[in-house]
Chain A
Amino acid sequence: MLRTDILIIGAGAVGTALARELSKFKVKVLVCDKNDDVGGDASKSCSGLTSTSATMPVGTLECKIRTISHTMVDVLCRDLDIPIIHCGSIAPVLTDDQMAQVPKLLDRAWQNGVWDYEFLPREEILEMEPTLNPEIKGGIYSPRDSQINQFLMVVAEAENAAENGVEFMLDCEVTGIETEDGRIRRVITTKGEIEAGWVVNAAGLHCDEIAKMVGECDFTVHPRKGEFYVLGHDTPVKVKHIISSVPTPKTRGVLVIPTTDDNLIVGPTADDVEDKTDRKTTRDGLEEVRTKALEMVPGLCFGDTITQFVGARPARVPEGYNILVSEKAKGYVGISGIRSTGLTASMALAKYIVHEMQGAGLALERKVGWIRTRRGIVKFAGKSDAEKDALIAQNPLYGKIVCRCEQVTEAEIVQAIRRPVGARTLDAVKRRVRAGMGRCQSGFCGPQVIAIIARELGVSEYDVRKRGVAAYMLDRGGK
């Protein structure tokens, strides 16, 4: 049987940030996730926005943690080589009703310590962002809102944690937790039993199911579906800032976001659904996104869409961040209520969780030789001729362009697979190095990427998946 000091269930933004935080200490940490890759569910399919707490409910734990965490983002990006753009955000004010909200929004931002959250007149906003609807009455400018590469953030944290000794077990679903004399004993998974002193439930959308296994579930979680469009690089109308609807208590509404890879993400909707496997875009949802985005940025060309996707934020009832250090089942720590704000909040949240665990008796001794930094895979695209030539001289696979749309080379794909916590599916390769993330959506490179994954992992092409448990690419003949 596998033994570990701490088992983290869930390798999303929270689970991997916690794993990295714990990797600083002399404890054995294991992370398991039922998905084929780190990045969880909500984390990999969120908007990638990392923003101040301007719009947070005042005085909540969520607001406090996120405020602290937002100050930690830049150091994390520097240490782990995570792409981020400091573009700021603008919420154009279009109606009198929205205008009436502005003083309240500014007041809340002030109370949350976001003192640079300002209302600017129409002319100034239009000069900053000429693509906006000229009929706006003004806009709220939030200069410290940024856009992070949400895929690479989680991958970078996981790689760094793994380099510091954390183990990852993917495709590994928890099916039961056993307690003995009021203490956690072992965790039953689809990959065998794991004996653990501490179990941290960071299972996001599924954290209620895990919580039930230890009888610590006084809440429910359901998916709040968000539908998004992604527009290609060549689309003629692009925004320089994150464009956001004027926030309502429930959501920041539809956003138009410039990404770190020069795409535009447009969305999301916010629809509460019951089925946790539901990742379907809908005609109505996509139309809602399109209409609302065009009200703000009338020139957007939805004909340049390269894909649409759904993110499922975990919506807790009752809502609010909740970190439970169990009395009933000692050693169990339940994290719930981490919604879309979790990407930004994850760094401080990890520290907060560790602090709480120490308070409950976890003894931690700092390691010597902890590795603080990690470098990303060197991209071929965007380099100068001389730099490209040097890359190819170092590794001739840099001269083999596999994904023509994003100019991704075989060298990058092979690294994505071979690195710690490496990619094993097409989607995992795509998130790390963008092969298949361009205009043809892997039509050209798909067959080649399947072959490279099979070769690198030493499996048959018929065993290669798009993602998930059984999303096989080819017809396995009933296997």
Chain B
Amino acid sequence: MKTIECDVVVVGAGPAGLAAAEAARLAGAERVLIVERDTRAGGILQQCIHPGFGLKMFGEELTGPEYAGRYQERADKAGVELMTCTTALELRDRELVCANSDGILNVRFGALVLAMGCRERTRANLVIPGARPSGIYTAGTAQKLINLYGDKVGREIVILGSGDIGMIMARRLTLEGAHVKAVVELLPFLAGLTRNKVQCLDDFGIPLLLSHTVIDIDGVDRLTSVTIAPVDEKRRPILDKAEKIPCDTLLLSVGLIPENELSRTGGIALSPITRGPLVNQFKQTSNPAVFACGNVLHVNDLVDHVSVESAEAGRCAALFAANRLPSASAFSTVAGPGIRYVCPQTVVADGGADVTLFFRTLVPGRRTVLRCVSGGKELARKTCIRTSPGTMESLVIPKDAVAALNDSIEVSCEHGEVLA
């Protein structure tokens, strides 16, 4: 058993971990170590070989591996240590227990950044009845098999859920010669980004069936068909309109869940809504030495946002390790009318920097006014041509207003016109 000490340890070398580690070094942390279970850095971006990354961050369109490559170079240059093939097993107070083929490694830290990302919701989470044949994959698993392992998963495909990965996989499978028969979405509106519908479904003539769901699955060995049905306004399937679709593969793109099992071992308080840690604007969790960023905190739609948020987490972790993170009274953020959640969940009244609140709306709409109010005073407002729950929204509270906080902050949304 070995023990090492570092100022900041980061769990996960995906985009969040890389950005956090680089920022921690740049903020003065001497020894910054990333622990990564995979054989190399990059996280889920390794398998995202499609373009569309980095438009906000770099002003150009990169593939996932290219985007991760840039951040890996930056982390390298900043002097971050990367330990691959190493799994974090347990978080204790100021100590992270890891395993790799050399044995058990205890990492003592001044601050720790959780950056483990998320996992996909499964069929069981949705309780789709039917048989349990092979040929049912979550979209990300299929993406990994195709893009990293070079395997073919199937040829007649139905995709449940209009999440981004599902739509991207609809296009990917079409390019691989498979026949994507339909993308089926329970909700009356798209779950992912509109640009993905245009580029991945519309351009390839793949039908999107909104307000539909899969109600049965057949196949003794390999999948042979799924049965889909439209749903009423209460999302109950209309059984007499059910239709059986022969297929050999069903992909599920039905949502992501922050992967917080390690956080739980450390007793970190989690939000029941985001299923990520409760944090303040420094991304500091209920354990002041532990920070969280990226999809482990809340599920993002754009990696560019992840990079920004994670750099902030890394910087604050470095300050904490050096006893330089400011402290002041904290005020909660509240998801007001039309808002599903707000992250961070608290804001510390420290005027060192502007604070960006990230949040998701409940239903899609046009001419949407987004506002953030505290103690009867409006702190930020913007009007959007269009908003949807699939797109993360944000508002920036100026630092002077942050310093002057004396009440909770409510974020609300008012649509000029509600869509669907």
Q: Determine if A388 and B127 form an interchain contact, defined as CB atoms under 8 angstroms apart.
A: no
**Residues 206-238 of chain A: 1 if any B CB is under 8 Å from the residue's CB, otherwise 0?**
000000000000000000000000100010000
- A393 to B99 alpha-carbon distance, docked (Å): 11
Complex interface: stretch among B148-156, B291-299, B348-356, B388-396: B148-156
Contacts of B137 in A (CB 8 A): 443, 446
Q: Which of A302, A444, A470 contacts B222 (CB 8 A)?
A: A470
User: A309 — which chain B residues lie within 8 A by C-beta?
Assistant: 132
A4 within 8 A of B: no
Contact B119 A439 (CB under 8 A): yes
Partner of A399, one of B99, B119, B149, B222: B99
B130-173: contact bitstring with A at CB < 8 Å (1 yes, 0 no)? 11111001101100110011011111000000000000000000
Q: Establish whether residues B221 and A440, one from each chain, have CB atoms under 8 Å apart when the complex forms.
A: no
Contact A385 B104 (CB under 8 A): yes
Given contacts A280-B130, A404-B87, A468-B221, contact A441 B124 (CB under 8 A): yes
- From 85 to 111 in chain B, residues with beta carbon under 8 angstroms from any chain A beta carbon are 85, 87, 89, 97, 99-104, 106
Whether A283 is near chain B, meaning CB under 8 Å from some CB there, is yes
List the one stretch of A99-107, A413-421, A471-479 in contact with chain B: A471-479
Q: Which residues of A, 150-180, contact B by the 8 Å Cβ criterion? A: none
Q: Is the CB of B151 within 8 A of A443?
A: no
The answer on a CB contact under 8 Å between A473 and B97 is no
Contacts of B129 in A (CB 8 A): 280-283, 285-286, 308
Q: How far is the CA of A392 from the CA of B86 in the complex (A)?
A: 13
Let me know if A443 and B141 touch, CB within 8 A: yes
Can you name the residue of chain B whose Cβ is closest to the Cβ of A440? Answer: B119
Name the CB-closest residue of B to A278.
B131
Within the complex, what minimum Cβ distance (angstroms) separates A404 from chain B?
7
Q: A234-B264, A443-B141, A475-B152 are in contact. Are A392 and B103 (CB under 8 A)?
A: yes
- Report Cα–Cα, A286/B216, bound state, in Å: 13
CB <8 Å contact, A405 and B261: yes
> What are the interface flags for B362-393 relative to A under an 8 Å C-beta threshold, 1 for contact and 0 otherwise?
00000000000000000000000000000000
Using A282-B129, A307-B124, A441-B122 as known contacts, say yes or no to A399 and B103 having CB atoms under 8 A apart. Answer: yes
Contacts of B85 in A (CB 8 A): 400
Nearest residue in A to B124 (C-beta to C-beta)? A307
Q: Is B66 an interface residue (CB 8 A)?
A: no
Provide the bound-state CA to CA distance between A281 and B248, in Å.
19
Whether B327 sits at the interface, judged by CB under 8 Å, is no
Q: Which of A302, A407, A461, A475 has the most CB of B within 10 A?
A: A475
B-side contacts of A113, CB under 8 Å: none
> Smallest Cβ distance from A407 to chain B, in angstroms?
7
- Give residues 423-479 of A contacting B (CB, 8 Å): 439-444, 446-447, 451, 461-462, 465-475, 477
Q: Are B127 and A305 in contact (CB under 8 A)?
A: yes
Complex CA gap A465/B222 in Å reads: 9
Q: Quick one: given A306-B124, A389-B1, A392-B101, are A473 and B144 in contact (CB under 8 Å)?
A: no
Q: B127, A401: Cβ atoms under 8 Å? A: no
Given contact pairs A392-B103, A392-B104, A400-B101, A474 touches B153 in the complex (Cβ within 8 A):
yes
Residue B125, interface by CB 8 Å = yes
Is the beta-carbon distance between B221 and A470 smaller than 8 angstroms? yes
Q: Which residues of A contact B37 (CB under 8 A)?
A: 401, 404
**Residue B123, interface by CB 8 Å:** yes
A477 to B151, CA, bound (A): 11
Whether a CB of chain A sits under 8 angstroms from the CB of B215 is: yes
Q: Is the CB of B122 within 8 A of A472?
A: no
Question: Which among A397, A400, A440 is the interface contact of B120 at CB below 8 angstroms?
Answer: A440
CB pair B125–A471 under 8 Å, yes or no, is: no
Residues of B within 8 Å of A401, CB to CB, are 37, 87, 89, 99
**Cβ contacts under 8 Å, B217 to chain A:** 280
Q: Is A441 a contact partner of B123 (Cβ separation < 8 A)?
A: yes
**For residue A407, which residue of chain B has the nearest CB?**
B89
User: Which residues 193-207 of B have a CB within 8 angstroms of A?
Assistant: none
Question: Cβ of A386 < 8 Å from any Cβ of B?
Answer: yes
Q: Taking the nearest CB of chain A, how far is it from the CB of B148, in angstroms?
A: 8
- Contacts A386-B1, A440-B122; A474 near B222 (Cβ below 8 A): no
- Asked if A299 is at the interface of the complex by the 8 Å CB criterion, the answer is no
User: Given known contacts A471-B133, A472-B222, is B87 in contact with A392 (CB within 8 Å)?
Assistant: no
B273 contact set on A, CB distance < 8 A: none
Q: Are A385 and B1 in contact (CB under 8 A)?
A: yes
User: Contact between B145 and A447 (Cβ–Cβ < 8 Å)?
Assistant: yes
Nearest B residue to A410, CB-CB:
B101
Is the pair A461, B149 in contact by a Cβ cutoff of 8 Å? yes
Q: Are A474 and B152 in contact (CB under 8 A)?
A: yes
Cα–Cα, bound, A284→B102 (Å):
51
With A308-B124, A472-B222, A474-B151 already in contact, the answer to whether A392 and B102 are too (CB < 8 A) is: yes
Interchain nearest-CB distance for B112 vs A (Å): 18
What's the Cα separation between A410 and B326 when bound, in Å?
45
Residues of A within 8 A of B140 (CB): 443
Please give, as numbers and ranges, the residues of chain A lying within 8 Å of B153 by CB-CB distance. 474-475
| Residue among B37, B87, B132 facing the most chain A CB atoms (10 A cut-off) | B132
Q: Which residues of A288-315 are within 8 A (CB) of B?
A: 302-303, 305-310
Binary B-proximity of A105-136 (CB < 8 A = 1, otherwise 0): 00000000000000000000000000000000
A281 → chain B, closest Cβ, in Å?
Answer: 5
In the bound complex, residues from chain A placing their C-beta under 8 Å from that of B4 are: none
- Check A355 for interface membership: any CB of B closer than 8 A: no
Residues of A within 8 A of B420 (CB): none
The CB with the most chain A CB atoms within 10 A, among B129, B137, B145, is that of B129
Tell me, yes or no, whether A192 is within 8 Å of chain B by CB. Answer: no
**B248 touching A475, Cβ below 8 Å:** yes
Q: Please name the residue on chain B nearest to A380 by beta carbon.
A: B99
A466 touches B101 (CB 8 A): no
Is B404's CB within 8 Å of the partner chain A?
A: no
- Give the distance in Å from the alpha carbon of A407 to the alpha carbon of B104 in the complex: 14
A328 at the interface (CB under 8 A from B): no
Most buried by A among B133, B140, B220: B220
B119 in contact with A447 (CB, 8 Å) = no
Contact, CB under 8 Å: B127 / A286 = yes
How near does chain A come to B120, taking the closest CB pair, in angstroms?
A: 5
| Neighbouring A residues of B154 by C-beta, 8 Å | 475
- From the candidates B100, B120, B221, name the one contacting A471 in the complex (CB within 8 A): B221
What residues of A have a CB within 8 angstroms of the CB of B124 in the complex?
230, 305-308, 441
Which residue of A has the minimal Cβ distance to B148? A447
Residues of B with C-beta under 8 A to A385: 1, 97, 104, 106
- A279 on the interface (CB 8 Å rule)? yes
Q: How far is the CA of A304 from the CA of B239 in the complex (A)?
A: 27
Distance to closest chain A CB from B165 (angstroms): 12
CB distance from B229 to the nearest CB of A (A): 11
Residues of B within 8 A of A465 (CB): 134
Find chain B residues with CB under 8 A from A475 CB.
152-155, 178, 248-249
Distance between A307 CB and nearest chain B CB, rounded to angstroms: 4
Q: Contact between B221 and A469 (Cβ–Cβ < 8 Å)?
A: yes
B78 CB to nearest A CB, Å? 28
> Do A473 and B134 touch across chains, with their CB atoms under 8 A apart?
yes
A400–B216 alpha-carbon span in the complex (Å): 37
Q: Are B141 and A447 in contact (CB under 8 A)?
A: yes
Report if A182 contacts B (CB, 8 A): no
How far, in angstroms, from A17 to B37 measured CA to CA in the complex? 41
Residue of A nearest to B141 (CB): A443
Residue in A303, A308, A442 with the greatest tally of chain B CB atoms within 10 Å? A308
- B120 near A443: Cβ-Cβ < 8 Å: yes
What are 20 residue pairs bridging A and B, where the CB atoms are less than 8 Å apart in the complex? A280-B131, A280-B216, A305-B124, A306-B124, A386-B1, A388-B89, A392-B99, A392-B103, A400-B100, A405-B261, A407-B89, A440-B120, A441-B122, A443-B122, A443-B140, A444-B119, A447-B145, A447-B149, A472-B134, A474-B145
Query: Which 3 residue pairs are nearest across A and B when measured between Cβ atoms?
Result: A399-B101, A466-B134, A396-B101
Excluding A305-B124, A472-B222, 20 further A-B contacts by CB distance (< 8 Å) are A230-B124, A234-B261, A280-B130, A280-B131, A280-B216, A303-B125, A305-B127, A307-B124, A380-B99, A388-B99, A399-B99, A400-B85, A401-B37, A404-B261, A443-B122, A443-B137, A466-B133, A475-B153, A475-B155, A475-B248
